[in-house]
Amino acid sequence: MGKPEIAKLGHVAIVTSDLEKSLWFFREVIGLEETDEVDGVHYLRAWGDFQHHTLSLEQGESGYLKHIGWRTKNKEDVQQFKQLLEEEGVDVTYLPKGATPGIGEAIRFKLPSLHTFELYYDVERPPVAEHRRSVLKNQTYKSWAKGVSPRRFDHVNIHTSTEVDQTYDFLLEKLGFKLREYLVNEEGNTIAGWMSVTPLVHDVAVLSKPNLPTPARLHHISYWSDDTQDILRAADILKENGIQFIGPGKHGISQAMYLYVMDPGSGCRVELFTGGYLIFEPDWEPVKWTMEERSLGNTYWGDSVQDKELNNITIEAK
């Protein structure tokens, strides 16, 4: 029997200090579709997402990240990961089917960075009401129904003040991620890594930040749109709604177009994302960036990420 594998990024669970503002932002401005509401938790997805949800929102005293969910390649992988992680001394919590609406049996555990991951395989695909359903049989909802209207959930970016090498090793050796691009400091230590289990340049980015207010933080979640014009249209929509943003611009790392905006309820940053490149080479060599090249890696052209105060804002991960 081979090693268990993760197939893709699934969802994030966010707590917000102002649920009304967050729902307005994600449903009306970003344009996500709400699939369900259970016990005060709202479940949303983009028009091209297929599983039950890619984002959950619930009210709390402050904004923070509860966990990041990943779907495995096979049902058996969930229990195999549980066994392998427990053998390595990792504290794993088992969740029965339905503990998270729309998701089957799952496990949760903390990375060395102290971020919580959830792994599962079984998912529900809620039926879509006729007036919201796309005529395309291979698409969930009508595109462009409201707001920015991104196609799908893309990636997450997390920061940690812990020994970041331990997290890189954990993702590579225990969970099967591949390092695609990375940034080293003057001493040659990796301080940022873009990693994936898919052909994307990154499903998750992990950055070392020694002076964080808490050890585990979320920098942003990302939704992907089809092309550059979608990002320019998003800028118009955000401006019309009086929302501050960073961008548009283009990253050197990943080569993708970006625009960053903050959820006014939770403080969660959202990256609206398009372009980039895919990796199909089985012998891909991770691309190394140095501190001298960092500015180019962050911003190939356009509105600079590094120069903006908003870039330093993160929310806690518990």
Domain range list for the chain: 6-120, 154-317
55: helix, strand or coil: strand
Whether 6-120 shares its CATH topology with 154-317 is answered yes
Indicate the pLDDT class of residue 310, thresholds 50, 70 and 90. low
Tell me which of 82 and 211 has the higher pLDDT: 82
Indicate the pLDDT class of residue 304, thresholds 50, 70 and 90. confident
- CB burial of 258-272 (b: ≥16 within 10 Å; e: otherwise) equals bbbbbbbbbbbbbbb
**What CATH topology corresponds to 6-120?**
2,3-Dihydroxybiphenyl 1,2-Dioxygenase; domain 1 (3.10.180)
User: pLDDT tens-digit profile of 227-277?
Assistant: 999 999 999 999 999 999 999 999 999 999 999 999 999 999 999 999 999
Taking the complete model, does pTM exceed 0.75, yes or no? Answer: yes
Number of C-alpha atoms within 13 angstroms, CB side, residue 161? 11
Cα gap 206→218, rounded to integer Å:
10
Q: What is the pLDDT of residue 17?
A: 98
User: pLDDT tens-digit profile of 56-99?
Assistant: 999 999 999 999 999 999 999 999 999 999 999 999 999 999 89
Q: What is the pLDDT of residue 187?
A: 94
DSSP 124-176: ------TTTB-SSTT-SB-TTSSSS--SEEEEEEEEESS-HHHHHHIIIIIS-
Domain 154-317: which CATH number of 3.40.190.10, 3.10.180.10, 3.40.190.80, 3.20.20.70: 3.10.180.10
Indicate the pLDDT class of residue 308, thresholds 50, 70 and 90. low
Cα gap 111→132, rounded to integer Å:
38
